[in-house]
Each structure stands twice: as structure tokens, then as C-alpha cells.
Chains A and B, each alone.
Chain A
């Protein structure tokens, strides 16, 4: 949950627009490809899942692990970045 990564800052700094799913913190090349295969090609699709799980950390982590096999740190990064984005833009 290090909120200091450059990717995190970049993502949280502005509306996500049409950003790719790989622009999410914690989602790298491999995880992004896996997510894209499942239809989660844009960051806002993941945001939708995040919201439909009611921003619940445990559920979202569980889902992310199940969907793309993210490890604990990656789950935390992705969750933190989406939550912070929501805090400032939702």
C-alpha cells in the first residue's frame, strides 16, 4: 500500500478518462493482459467492478486475485489507487 509510487500519483492526479487498465497502480504488463482477456480493458471497467463491490477492500482484493492472480501488494496498490481516485473525483 505504498501510496508514493509514481504510477499511483499519476493515476490519482487526474480523471482517468480512457486510460488503459495498465495505468492502474499495481497492474503491470502481465496482470493487465490477463484483465484485458477477461474484458477489463480500461481502467474505468475495473473502477466499475470496484464500485459494484461497494469499495469493499476485502471483496475487491479477492476479486482481483481471482481475476488476474494479483499478489497481495498488487491488490493493495490497485485498491489504494482506485479508492484515492474515488475520494478525489467521485
Chain B
């Protein structure tokens, strides 16, 4: 497999300069038993790594190589693979190349670049599926006929998500960029301080627009400067206050100059040259229209994420949320339930108490009435014979 990943890496000469090859002991081959040492430098790579026919087929499809007929032998596929996909590997293969190839495979999940497509085509089906899943795409089966579609999908996703993703990871290129930026700013700041020191405060009036070019980064620099100013080892003339040209935007914002500084700025002839506290400037700088937005998370401000709902909610969860939103809150449900239970309990108790009192007599009364009525009717029907008999006996 490692050999297979190495295929695209060979087409990237730029990587060789940036990534030092790892020591050979660091990454042993995945198939040591299949790759005897004596073959490693001599044989073409497809002999060393056994590729299945279907794997070869999907690779060919991925590279837009017309497939031979279905009944072709594996050698045909291997030949096509070597011819179209990786001619370099098929040719002479030296051991140092191998190391570089291994070094290159580490950068497979890089951000978007020209090498993306080759990275993606180097992935196995499962890896392609996994990386698509990382981007929230649930794939179907990745087979020869669908692989190309999914590769394009992944590439598109990498291109659209690329910058954010690398920034979120905070490693690799993003880290390099941010580091360099920071250094640049620090250098800038150092230059500024150097200039201040060498030119002295009397010269300050000569550059009215000094802060203008840096206005975009005012907040960031100012925060840093404030931190810098708090340190004990700050430059002697600038220990607590900076004497800097007043930015034009601040002229209105700071009408009364805070002239608490030392003799340098106080003796400055120019009315434009004023010293002001850096902390004040930080406060004002955030309100200025030209200044950049405040640094997220800096100076106690809450961190605001660009994408508040980072995990994309599935339709099922959305549906559930919708349902939950319509439902009555839980405590109300509980209250209603308790109230119902109380009412039912009361009813039951009342029923138990008065079960025999009002209802039984009524029922008894009813049955009595019924019984008496029956008795009456029976008496009436049987009255005549009894009476006759009685009369007979009496008469007899």
C-alpha cells in the first residue's frame, strides 16, 4: 500500500525540498514479507505490491484510461497501469527515490493545491470514503464507476473548505503562515521602536501619517505594544508611554492630549506631536472605522466563531429539534401531570367514602322497588287460585 501511495508523490518535485526524508527505519514497508530486500530496488513496483485486478481497474478508471475488454488478463491491466498512471515507477527505481516518496506521502491530506488531484487518486477506496465522511458526505459504495465522481466531490470540498480547515488544524502550512506573520509584525514593531529611538521625539512631527499604513493592524500592534510597555525591560525612553505621531483619525477622538510623558514630547514644538497612552489608543482604536475588527479572544473579549454550528446537523436531528421546540416544556408537563394525579386521587377517595352511602341504598331501594313490584304482580296473579283454594278449604 505504501508503494501505491508513493505513486502520486513522485510527481511532486516541490515537496522534496520542503520535506526532509524521514530515516528509513522510521517507516518500514507494510509488507516486509512480500517485499524482500533484494527486489526492492530492482523490480518494478507493481511486482512488489500485489494489486488486485479490481483495484487496478478502478485506478485506471480514475485516471480516465479506457479499460480493456472485460476478459483481459491481469497483465493487461498492469501494463496499462504502468503506462498511463506511473511511468516513472515503471522505469528505473532507486532507493533514494523511495525514501523521498515515503516522505511525500505524509502530506496527503494537505490543503488545496495543484497536487490535490494526485493525492486523492492515490487514496484507496476506503480512505476516500473516510475522508469524504470527514467532510460530512456520506458516500455510497465506491466502485470503479463511482470513484471518479467521489474524487471530484472530495476535491471540490477540499477546495472550498481548504483554508478554514488548515486554519482549524493549526498545524502545517497554517502554522507556518501565522508564525511568519507574527514575526513580520514583531519585526515591524521592532523597526518602529528603533526608528523612534534613533529619530528622537523632536522629529515626530515630520511624519504626520505615520500610523496610517498600519491602521489596519492598529489593534493588534497596539495590544502587543501595550504588553510590551508593561514589561520591565522595555526601552528606557518608551517605558510606559509611546510618543507617536497622532493618527488623523484620533485627532477628533482624543481632543485633549494626555501629556504625561517625559521631557521629549513635552518640548516638541509641533502641535501635532502628542503623546498619548497606548491603552487609551487601544480603546479608541477599536471604535475607529478604519481599524480592523478586534482580535477574537484577545483582551478578554469572547471568542466568536465564524461558523457557530460547526457540526452539520442531520435532517433527523433538525426534525427532532423542530419537534422539541413545539412541545410543551418539561416542567409544565410535570405540573399538569401532578395536578391531574391529585384530582384523580381526590375523586377516588371521595368515591371510596361515598360508595356505600349514596349509591347502595339507592340500588337497594331500586331492587326493593323491583322486588315489591314483582311480588305484587305475582301476588295478583296467584291471588285468585290461592283465594279459591282457601275459599274451598274454608267452604269444605
Contacts and interface: CB of A to CB of B under 8 A. Distances in A.
A52 B143 contact: yes
A59 B143 contact: no
Binding site of B, secondary structure by majority: helix, strand, loop or mixed?
helix
Contacts of A66: 148-149, 152
B149 A54 contact: no
B146 A63 contact: yes
Interface residues of B, number: 11
A62 B153 contact: yes
B145 interface: yes
Contacts of A63: 146, 148-149
A21 to B, nearest CB: 15
Interface string A41-67: 000000001001110100100110010
Contacts of A56: 140
Given A59-B153, A62-B153, A52 B140 contact: yes
A62 B147 CA distance: 12
B153 A49 contact: no
A54 B148 contact: no
Interface residues of A, number: 9
A53 B152 CA distance: 14
A71 B139 CA distance: 24
B107 interface: no
Binding site of A, secondary structure by majority: helix, strand, loop or mixed?
helix
Contacts of B141: 52
A27 to B, nearest CB: 17
Contacts of A52: 140-141, 143, 145-146
Best-buried of B148, B149, B153 by chain A (most CB within 10 Å): B149
B125 to A, nearest CB: 13
A53 B146 contact: yes
Contacts of B150: 59
Nearest to B67: A39
A79 to B, nearest CB: 14
7 smallest beta-carbon distances between A and B, as pairs: A54-B140, A63-B149, A59-B149, A62-B149, A52-B146, A52-B141, A52-B140
Interface of A: 49, 52-54, 56, 59, 62-63, 66
Interface of B: 139-141, 143, 145-146, 148-150, 152-153
